[in-house]
Amino acid sequence: MLVELISKGYGNDEDLNCAEKILRGANQSYNLGLDLKAFKLAAGFGGGMGIGSVCGAVTASIMVLGELFVKEKAHEGTKIKELTQEFIGRYQTEMGDYLCDPLKAKYRTEELKCHVILLKAAEILDEIVQREGLK
């Protein structure tokens, strides 16, 4: 699934940011049917929205959950809120934070870039998607 793509360096050759890697990789892994126009929505979320805020791998994972588990809008039920809370809670527990700058300080290397950060997001996302089932 997504973790296998990310572990192989998905998006590195295309110079994608973390949010783009997760969204495009999830599109391929989960057959979301997203197009280039949809991919562009993730562009500004890399680097914690460019200001070191919430990690792009986290925000893109939430985008994927929305695509998979929301029919038309968030307020149709509590599912997306619950899955978002679960994802962020697990990510923070396992990685120590969900903000870009602290994550980069702890995990980013010049050689691997944010690979470890991306892998954890992909792993948690895969687990939630597998448990909840694809749409």
29 pLDDT more than 60: yes
Task: Convert the pLDDT of each residue in 70-107 to its tens digit.
Answer: 999 999 999 999 999 999 999 999 999 999 999 999 99
135 pLDDT more than 90: no
The residue ranges of every structural domain in the chain are 2-132
Separation of alpha carbons 46 and 1, rounded Å: 22
Task: Convert the pLDDT of each residue in 30-76 to its tens digit.
Answer: 999 999 999 999 999 999 999 999 999 999 999 999 999 999 999 99
Question: What is residue 99's three-state secondary structure?
Answer: strand
29 and 5 Cβ atoms separated by less than 8 Å: yes
134 pLDDT more than 90: no
Only one residue has tokens 């890697």, namely 21
The answer for residues whose C-beta is within 8 angstroms of residue 48's C-beta and 6 or more apart is: 54, 55, 56, 99, 100, 101
Q: What is the pLDDT of residue 9?
A: 95
Query: What is the pTM (predicted TM-score) of this model?
Result: 0.96
27 and 42 Cβ atoms separated by less than 8 Å: no
